[in-house]
Amino acid sequence: MSSTQTVASDTPRRYQLFIDGKWMDAESGKTFETPNPSTGATLAEVAEADKADVDKAVAAARRAFEGKWSKMSARDRGRLMYKLSQLIDANSQELAALETSDNGKPIRESQYVDIPQVVENFEYFAGFATKIEGETIPVPGQMFNYTLREPLGVCGQIIPWNFPLLMAAWKLAPALAAGNTIVLKPAEQTPVTAMELGKLIQEAGFPDGVVNIVPGYGETAGAALASHPGIDKIAFTGSTEVGKLIAREAAQNLTKVSLELGGKAPNIVFADADIEQAVNGAMMSIFFNQGQVCCAGSRLFLHEEVKDEFLDNFKERASRMQVGNPMDTATHMGPQVSEEQLNRIKSYVEIARGEGATVLAGGEPPQLEGDFRAGYFFQPTIFSEVTNQMRVAQEEIFGPVVSVITFKDEEDLIQQANATIYGLSAGIWTRDITRAHRFAREIKAGVVWINTFNMFNAASPFGGYKQSGYGREMGKHALDLYTQVKSVWVDLSGKPMGWFGK
């Protein structure tokens, strides 16, 4: 049974910047609009941060870092984070509806994936606040040597539009647990839930300036943050292209950087796989979140022996997917996030045809009715007869578009699977456990899924090999991105040092 949800109000919402615990207009007075991608109607009008506002936010974050926040006990820090997780949980229905209205993802995904994982991440890292410890090192002689694990200071965090609130949580939670302060820049396409988070951060009682939120455009607010000499670290999730720009900006001040970038994941089906399960997995790997997922299984490698059976089943399932109103609980796929993304996907259909691939399913927008005719919808799309060298197999399309490549030989398969600039994730479907684990070792990717896909947990690290970035988010490894180690030496002998004392 399906039901349709709505957001509280149909008139556009208004948001100001959140700096130093206060809501304020941009210095320039400028605002920008964020549309609902399923109709194109304005969802919210948002203050547009620029360099002057980023300067203010960084200064506020510095004051908070040097002031109250660093004096607060780890336990109290953890309790604030735990309180925030509970507030998010209590507001989950509204946050899910807003996420779907701003991003276009199906309400079932916002409700059962995005928001619960936001809660999980804040809860998980709340527990870590009291467990960040140094070590004692057994150095020789009458010496005592220990380490302190300290926060970095002010962290800039730039996040994308595909999982707006969840990406904020992946970045904020470990940074806060470790005692840093933050300037967060949400994506211009999807600022709404980050601004709602600001309200809950205030309500939870975080000291002013610990978290500052500056919505705005990448080339202005984002670039001002990445190149700011007053930040100690920049964390970024987004395209590999922008990741390179950010690393270049950060290099001017040697600001520490972590990057979670694009992918072109191989999803591999062997002849001995449970085909029904593998088809399910392939659907989930490429059509979840309209394919706007950096770890999406966008290169589907099928063993020649099962190719026909698999594709018949896959094509039939893809064509039965419900594409439309994302607020309807029966919808599998909503609109792409923006017209720009929609046009990008359309251009890849032309590229695929030009390269000699076959459009086996989809390939165009669906026919929808009423207001949804103005939305940025696209059908689930399968390209077959693809070879790994084609652009559609090498470039990240970031839409519900999968390229099917067939294979015979395992060695050749591994070589092809690794023949990409990316290395974020990979999937394999087989009943042969030795093959599965052999593959897990041979594939150059930060995450491997065996007989499953798109599994995440706050305790499990996520991040890329090669040009998919560096650093691991989630799990205890995320704390390495937000702490630095200080080594302290103490002389226990009381004697003068070496020959200088003689």
To 10 degrees, what angle do helices 74-90 and 92-103 make? 70
CB of 5 to ligand ADP, least distance (A): 27
For 421, half-sphere exposure in the C-beta direction (CA atoms, 13 angstrom radius) is: 11
Which one, 219 or 276, has the nearer CB to ligand ADP? 219
CB contact at 8 A, 179 and 210: no
66 an active-site residue? no
CB of 112 to ligand ADP, least distance (A): 24
Sign, CA dihedral 443-448-449-451, equals: positive
Nearest to ligand ADP of 87, 234 (CB atom): 234
Q: Is 103 exposed, middle or buried (0-12, 13-18, 19+ CB in 10 A)?
A: buried
How many CB atoms within 10 Å of residue 451? Answer: 16
Shortest reach from residue 34's CB to ligand ADP, in Å: 12
Of the candidates 109, 123, 188, 294, the residue annotated as catalytic is: 294
Q: Which residues bind ligand ADP (CB under 6 A)?
A: 158-160, 185, 187-188, 217-219, 222-223, 226, 238-239, 242, 245-246
CB of 32 to ligand ADP, least distance (A): 11
Contacts of 96 (CB under 8 A, 6+ apart): 107, 110, 111, 114, 115
Based on CB atoms, which residue is closest to ligand ADP, 111 or 240?
Answer: 240
Minimum CB distance to ligand ADP, residue 288 (Å): 17
Other Cβ atoms within 10 Å of 97 Cβ, number? 19
303 versus 466: smaller Cβ distance to ligand ADP = 466
Complex with ligand ADP: residue 201 or 223, whichever CB lies closer? 223
* Alpha-helical regions (H) of 181-256: 192-204, 223-226, 240-251
Q: From the CB of 217, what's the least distance to ligand ADP, in Å?
A: 6
Is the torsion defined by CA of 98, 103, 105, 110 positive or negative? negative
Please state, in angstroms and rounded to a whole number, the distance separating the CA atoms of residues 149 and 110.
Answer: 36
Nearest residue to ligand ADP, by Cβ distance, number only: 218
In the complex with ligand ADP, the residue whose CB is nearer, 162 or 416, is 162
Cβ atoms of 162 and 62 within 8 Å: the answer is no
Smallest separation (angstroms) from ligand ADP to the CB of 219: 5
Distance CA 461, CA 89 (A): 23
Complete edge-to-edge strand list for the sheet that includes strand 31-35: 13-15, 42-47, 31-35
Closer by beta carbon to ligand ADP, 77 or else 171 = 171
Active-site choice (196, 249, 260, 473):
260
Q: Is 294 a catalytic residue?
A: yes
Structure tokens at 485: 């180690």
Q: Mind telling me the catalytic residues?
A: 260, 294
